[in-house]
């Protein structure tokens, strides 16, 4: 039985919603579907929401809003997808990488050691859907707030670096009952095809800024900033008599089209009632199956009140080194079961190596990476397929382990 690693949910509800966008609204780019998607995401997070065309562009938009650029530093974990760092590098800022803890997320103590007067933003990652430890990370930002050298009014009003959550994996997750979206100043979800909720390509920004910021007022400004700094969207200009507009600031063009939003809209409406519990079923089945295996190190899904959105199942193989892990993956792949590795620590990637990052500086990240295998988790994966993955993994591991 072939089991692909990932498959987006394209069911009758998605088809109906996309058809509605195509046939009934007469509108393709940002319009009513985007606004409905923003409202549905906002109902989960309890925040104002702005949809954009990717996580990466959403993070760039927020760093741009904060005025981050050359001479500034942005702190990211070494154990993540490269976009967490590229959003800052694209604005000319310097990336500072820190190591992670055993929960795969940014180590608060390592963050504390990395903060300098030039630190303008910190981007923790909710790896696999488990929220990073924002209480401990925020405490580090407050403890070092006096260091900040602000270069504009917004940075001065914030009075410390911005906490920007990379929540690409964690829509619907929470910490002690507080949903992701309200654990950091700014939270960005990815709606890319492999994520829990998808619009094909897309992202969503949630605002939860401290005093003196007004989230709704900032959202209105960001809406323009995401549309080339234009005061009216094409949808608004399309209303009779509403042709006049202005370009009020130097923005980006990163808005989400309505046809894309329709895909995610059909999914998010049943996300908490159906899709998230279905992920729990899959992850619980893996946990039960691997619980008796002495070589299986199970991923953290509930840690001190932090509840994962079960985006990825990050299995680790005790006793395996990198070469053995790779051989195990070859055996699993030979059975047509798709698995993956999350993540190659960023310093192992050419771009970052060439910029002087050294993998030896991130021992925990390397330790997590070298024996990690990510198993499929997505809506539509059947119990029989989960059992097939378990059988393929177990057979492969047990053939390799001494």
Contact status: 186 vs ligand PLP (CB under 6 A) = no
- The verdict on 144 binding ligand PLP (CB under 6 A) reads no
Looking at residues 212 to 231 of the shown chain, list those that interact with ligand PLP (rule: CB under 6 A): none
Residue of 262, 271, 253 whose CA lies nearest to 52: 253
**Which residue number is nearest to ligand PLP in terms of Cβ?**
55
* Identified binder of ligand PLP from the candidate list 50, 63, 83, 197, rule CB under 6 A: 83
Distance in angstroms (rounded) separating the CA atoms of residues 128 and 399: 27
Residue among 56, 198, 233, 374 that touches ligand PLP (CB under 6 A): 56
Minimum distance of ligand PLP from residue 27's CB (angstroms):
23
As a whole number of angstroms, the distance between CA 368 and CA 84 comes to 18
Only one of the segments 16-24, 134-142, 165-173, 348-356 lies at the binding site for ligand PLP (rule: CB under 6 A); that segment is: 165-173
Burial of 399 (0-12, 13-18, 19+ CB in 10 A): exposed
Q: At what angle do helices 383-400 and 276-290 cross, to 10 degrees?
A: 30
Residue 84 Cα distances to 204, 221, 241, 332, 373, angstroms? 15, 24, 42, 30, 21
Does residue number 377 form part of the binding site for ligand PLP (CB under 6 A)? Answer: no
Is the separation of the CB atoms in 278 and 212 below 8 Å? no
Pick the binder of ligand PLP from 54, 138, 174, 187 (CB under 6 A).
54
Which stretches does DSSP call E strand in 68-172? 73-77, 94-98, 119-122, 162-166
* Residue 134 contacts ligand PLP per CB under 6 A: no
Cβ distance to ligand PLP smaller for residue 150 or 200: 200
Closest by CA position to 310, among listed 322, 299, 319: 299
- Under rule CB under 6 A, residue 52 binds ligand PLP: no
Min dist CB 256 to ligand PLP, Å, is: 11
What count of Cα atoms within 13 Å lies in the side-chain half-sphere of residue 95? Answer: 25
Does residue 81 interact with ligand PLP by CB under 6 A? yes
Interface with ligand PLP by CB under 6 A: which range of 43-51, 76-84, 233-241, 277-285?
Answer: 76-84
What whole-number distance in Å separates Cα of residue 76 and Cα of residue 85?
Answer: 6
Member of 33, 192, 208, 310 binding ligand PLP (CB under 6 A): 192
Q: Does 307 bind ligand PLP (CB under 6 A)?
A: no
Segment interacting with ligand PLP (CB under 6 A) among 20-28, 132-140, 162-170, 321-329:
162-170
Q: Which two tokens stand for residue 274?
A: 């159906």
Kindly give the residue spans of alpha helices, DSSP state H, lying in 206-257: 215-225, 234-237
Exposure string of 290-310, with b = 16+ CB inside 10 Å and e = fewer, is beebebbbebbbebeebbbbb
**Residue 101 Cβ, how far from ligand PLP at the closest point, in Å?**
16
**Per CB under 6 A, does 255 bind ligand PLP?**
no
Query: Closest distance between ligand PLP and the C-beta of residue 192, in Å?
Result: 4
Residue 345 binds ligand PLP, judged by CB under 6 A: no
* Minimal distance, residue 166 CB to ligand PLP, in Å: 5
Among residues 80, 198, 309, 371, the one that binds ligand PLP under rule CB under 6 A: 80
- Given 36, 138, 190, 379, the residue binding ligand PLP (CB under 6 A): 190
Q: Is the dihedral of CA 203, 208, 214, 216 positive or negative?
A: positive
By beta-carbon proximity to ligand PLP, the closer residue of 197 and 317 is 197
DSSP per-residue string spanning 280-303: HHHHHHHHHHHTT-TTEEPPPSEE
Which tokens in the block code for residue 119? Answer: 């630190």
Q: How far apart are CA 303 and CA 312, in angstroms?
A: 16
Closest CA relative to residue 93, chosen from 111, 108, 76, 113: 76
133 vs 166, which CB is nearer to ligand PLP?
A: 166
- Closer to ligand PLP by CB, 223 or 311: give it: 311
Residue 84 engages ligand PLP in binding (rule: CB under 6 A): yes
The conformation of residue 238, written as its DSSP 8-state character, comes to T
Site for ligand PLP in 18-47 (CB under 6 A): none
Judged by CB under 6 A, the residue of 108, 161, 203, 299 near ligand PLP is 203
Chain residues binding ligand PLP by CB under 6 A are 54-56, 80-81, 83-84, 125, 166, 168-169, 190, 192, 203
């Amino acid at each position: 039985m072939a089991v692909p690693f990932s498959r987006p949910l394209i069911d009758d509800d998605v088809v109906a919603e996309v058809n509605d966008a195509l046939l009934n609204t007469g509108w393709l780019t940002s319009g009513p579907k985007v606004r409905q998607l923003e409202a549905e995401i906002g109902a989960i997070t309890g925040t104002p929401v702005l949809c954009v065309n990717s996580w990466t562009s959403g993070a760039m938009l927020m760093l741009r809003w904060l005025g981050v650029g050359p001479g500034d530093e942005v702190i990211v974990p070494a154990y993540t997808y490269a976009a967490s760092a590229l959003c800052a590098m694209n604005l000319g800022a310097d990336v500072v990488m820190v190591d992670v803890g055993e929960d795969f997320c940014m180590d608060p103590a390592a963050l504390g050691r990395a903060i300098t007067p030039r630190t303008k933003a910190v981007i923790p990652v909710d790896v696999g859907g488990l929220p990073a430890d924002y209480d401990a990370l925020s405490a580090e930002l407050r403890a070092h707030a006096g260091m900040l050298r602000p270069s504009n009014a917004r940075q001065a009003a914030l009075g410390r670096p911005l906490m920007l959550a990379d929540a690409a994996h964690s829509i619907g997750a929470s910490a002690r009952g507080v949903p992701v979206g309200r654990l950091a100043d700014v939270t960005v979800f990815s709606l890319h095809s492999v994520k829990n909720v998808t619009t094909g390509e897309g992202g969503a920004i949630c605002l939860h800024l401290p005093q003196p910021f007004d989230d709704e007022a900032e959202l209105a400004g960001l809406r323009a900033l995401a549309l080339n700094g234009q005061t009216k969207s094409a949808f608004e200009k399309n209303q009779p008599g509403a042709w006049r507009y202005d370009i009020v600031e130097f923005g980006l063009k990163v808005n989400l089209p309505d046809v894309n939003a329709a895909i995610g809209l059909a999914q998010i409406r049943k996300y908490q009632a159906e899709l998230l519990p279905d992920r729990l079923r899959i992850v619980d089945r893996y946990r039960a199956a691997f619980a008796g295996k002495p070589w299986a190190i199970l991923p953290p899904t509930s840690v001190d009140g932090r509840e994962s959105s079960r985006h990825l199942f990050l299995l680790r193989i005790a006793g395996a080194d990198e070469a053995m892990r790779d051989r195990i993956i070859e055996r699993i792949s030979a059975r047509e079961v798709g698995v993956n590795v999350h993540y190659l620590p960023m310093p192992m990637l050419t771009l970052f190596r060439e910029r002087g990052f050294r993998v030896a500086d991130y021992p925990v990240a390397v330790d997590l990476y070298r024996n990690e295998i990510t198993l499929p988790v997505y809506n539509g994966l059947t119990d029989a397929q989960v059992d097939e993955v378990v059988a393929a993994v177990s057979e492969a591991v047990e053939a390799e382990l001494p």
